[in-house]
Structure 1
Amino acid sequence: MTTQNTPVKVDLWFDTLCPWTWVLSRWLLEVEKVRDVELTFHVLSVSLLNSGQEIPEQYRDEPEAFLDRMRRALAPVRVLAATAKQAGDSAVRDLYTAMGSRIHVGGDKDFENVIEQALAEVGLPAELAEAGRTDAYDGLLKDSTKAGMDPVGLRVGSPILHVDGAALFGPVMSRIPRGEQAGELFDSLAGLAAFPYVYELKRDRLEEPVTS
């Protein structure tokens, strides 16, 4: 278990559309309740990471559908990048929660509608939605993605977690641990992250993410 007197600094880089990342982010909010952590959310774009790359094998039968998904995925993260610039990290966290609740719990795939309603819910200017329709904030989005990815490498995607500076992909989990169970999992992860020569620990995914 972590025993230090100062909070453990935890930084999450997320792409709004990833359901596995959504589950992890809700776990971290549970961890906040039972462990002394300083939690910050940062936006990451899988679309930008995949730009110019070969289409993943599982999508090669439907390349146009994959490319359309990547294009559509840009709008929410662009709005979040604009939010980070104009309103700060705490607003990013709140807006991600409002967006993710609609996408992953409510099942709303109309991202313009999601953006509009989420901005209104958290009290941010409706004009921020314009950022989703342009590349004006793509430079900031790329910088944020780079900050999360550089310490862990480019062969992974969302979610990226930094625990007191130790960078990891994941953990990928299908359910949201709650209460003390959330804290115990975090203790284990923080302990493992302290060993920089540990690179991979994996098993097959046996179920789809349970997002609520």
Structure 2
Amino acid sequence: MYFDPACPWAWMTSRWLLEVERVRPVDVEFRVMSLAVLNEGRDELPETYREFLKTAWGPVRICIAVEQKYGQKAVRDLYTALGNRIHPGGEQRGPELYAAALADAGLDPALAAAADSTEYDEALRASHEAGMRPVGTDVGTPVIHAPGPVDGETVAFFGPVVTPAPKGDAAGRLWDGVLLVAGTPGFYELKRSRTIGPIFD
């Protein structure tokens, strides 16, 4: 799953995928995309979203710094630590949150400094591109790359956008259905208007 830690909908999907791991033979890897990178040069964005994107650079840079220092598996722990504070915790993104989340994950809190550094941007953009290339730029996060219906084939898709995150067998059934439609040649979209926001439980 390609995620941006700032996105509440990606957070909901990530918690669903962790539940899927319990009921299906799935091993989830969490990789970084960036809403800030995705929206570079888009002049039509609302001012509130522009402000949101200004603080979205920090967490993704830190995730890349952690990946480079500790390896890909550490990103999973950091994402959970960041997400718990940002989403159900309602904390503001900033240096104190980043250092605390790194400590929560057993990682070096000094890596919080990566939030304001461009040192990791090349690797960040490469990760973002790897995630978004198969789905295009008309979507955001979450993006999932999963096994396709043909051995060795991968299908990639945006979503699912779901709240609250399904638990138990309901999580498994949603996974089965998502793979079924995403693996259908020529299938592109299922959508309906969202009437509620993320439910963090």
Q: TM-score range by the shorter chain?
A: over 0.9
CA distance in 1, matches of 2:196, 2:92: 22
Partner of 2:160: 171
Partner of 2:145: 162
What are the residue-to-residue correspondences of 1:52-201 with 2, within 5 Å? 52-56=41-45, 59=46, 63=47, 65-164=48-147, 165-201=154-190
Which structure carries more relative contact order (alpha carbon 8 Å, separation 6+)?
A: 1
Secondary structure (helix, strand or coil) at the match of 1:166 reads: strand
CA distance in 2, matches of 1:110, 1:40: 24
User: Runs of 4+ in structure 1 displaced over 2 angstroms?
Assistant: 65-68
Structure 2 unaligned residues grouped into runs of 5+? 148-153
- TM-score, normalisation: structure 1: 0.89
Percent identity reads 44
Amino acid at match of 2:109: A
Q: Give aligned pairs, total.
A: 195
Deviations 1:110-160 (A, max 9, x none): 422221111111111122111111111011110000001000111111110
Q: Assess if the C-alpha contact under 8 Å between 1:79 and 1:131 holds in 2.
A: yes
Q: Assess if the C-alpha contact under 8 Å between 2:55 and 2:93 holds in 1.
A: no
Is the counterpart of residue 23 in structure 1 residue 6 in structure 2? no
Deviation at 1:21, TM superposition (A): 0.6
RMSD: 1.1
- TM-score, normalisation: structure 2: 0.94
CA distance in 2, matches of 1:119, 1:191: 37
